[in-house]
Amino acid sequence: MVKNPVLLVLVVAALAAAIVLSFLSHAPNRLLSGQPVPWGVVLEGWRSLAFAPALVLLAGPFLPNGRITHGLVALAASALIAGMIWLAGDVARSMADAAAPAARTSFGGAFWILAVMAALAASDALQKLTREPALRIGLALLLAVPAVFLVADGFIDALSIMKEYANRHAVFAAAVTTHLAIIAAMLVPTLAIGLPLGLLVHRRQGLGRPIFAVLNIIQTVPSIALFGLLIAPLAALVAFAPALARLGISGIGVTPAIIALTLYSLLPIVRSTAAGLAAVPTAAIEAARGIGMTRGQIFRAVEVPLALPVLVAGLRVTVVQAVGLTAVAALIGAGGLGAIIFQGLNASAIDLVMLGVVPLVGIAVLADLALKLAGAMLKARTG
């Protein structure tokens, strides 16, 4: 009877969330906690059609397994997310009252959980549709287009999170830029130190243990502690050599952030460089030597291309980790999306927190997908 138990569990969880939690909440202003908007108001009249794709998902667990069912489920999940975004925007617009300009309508718990369940249903369907990782990632991005279009085109501008955005879009753009710039800046010393260190570990086996022991201990230190530990020495250094201050180096801000991020990033980069080089088959190196290639040629033409997919996997771990750590670096004045999150937490302004969290997660997920795609393509090329 039940053909797809996974989808059934997702549907049941979504229904439970819809019953217990609210889809939207409405508050007199941005700092007060909102009252749930009743489902009767949300689903008034023909608006409820936005939930039509949910019927496919409700039927999905009982449909015969096959390409058509999986395709339908993936499309319905995408349509449901877009429909819910449109619906939330429409309800928020209709609840807006010129007499109470400070009133806010926010996404409720049910919206987020329904969206996550729909995304998981789509991911499950895509996994059943194709085993090709590159194709799966491409289809997933395609399915996200309607939702992104609705947000970008202003359909939900009446919602509180977009009002927070409108109030500080200059600050928001600067925060995103700073966040990305810190990660890019961190990659320069990370690769400059990590790649040679990984090569060294590969060539001199005895050095592996002590190097990994040190990098492992660094990785263990909580981020907030490492950021904190760098402040005093850097401040002392700048006091000792004031010329450094003119270069923009100081005990708080971007300098300690980049140093700490580099220290954290060395472990995955060194480990994946060494592992990638170690995984190169000896037969491939022997064959290259057999046709008369020099050591340098073998390194460039055989070892590096074959080690690259493993290195990219390490880079993925590094970048995803750095996206989150950079948010913590806002505590030492590095700016970025963390600054928006902590500002929201301090003011108890939930939607301001979300304005920082949603793009933070988005950047992490996109970086993860992009580097996964790069890894899959490299692997396909070296086959």
Partner 1 sequence: MRRIDPLIPAAIALVALVLGMPALKPLFAWMFPDQARPLYEQDSFLSLTLDHLSLVGISSAVSVVVGVAVAIFVTRPSGRAFRPLAETLTAAGQTFPPIAVLAIAVPLLGFGPLPALIALALYGLLPVTEATVAGIEQVPAGVREAARGIGMSPTGILARVELPLAAPVIVAGIRTSVIINIGTAAIASTVGVKTLGLPIIVGLSGFNTAYVLQGALVVGLLAAVVDLAFDRLGGFLGRWNRDRVAKTA
Binding site for partner 1 (CB under 8 A): 4-6, 9-10, 109, 120, 123-124, 127, 216-217, 220-226, 228-229, 231-232, 235, 251, 320, 323-325, 327-328, 331-332, 338, 341-342, 344-345, 348, 350, 353-354, 356-357, 360-361, 364-365, 368
CB of 357 to partner 1, least distance (A): 5
Please give the single-letter amino acid code of residue 14: A
In DSSP terms, which residues pair with 26 in a beta bridge?
A: 35, 105
Residues 6+ apart with CB under 8 A from 290: none
CB 267 within 8 A of CB 218: yes
CB of 237 to partner 1, least distance (A): 13
CB of 28 to partner 1, least distance (A): 17
CB atoms < 10 A from the CB of 128, how many?
19
CB of 369 to partner 1, least distance (A): 9
CB of 128 to partner 1, least distance (A): 8
CB of 34 to partner 1, least distance (A): 11
> Cα separations (Å) of 246 from 56, 95, 216, 228, 235?
62, 53, 34, 22, 13
In DSSP terms, which residues pair with 107 in a beta bridge?
A: 24
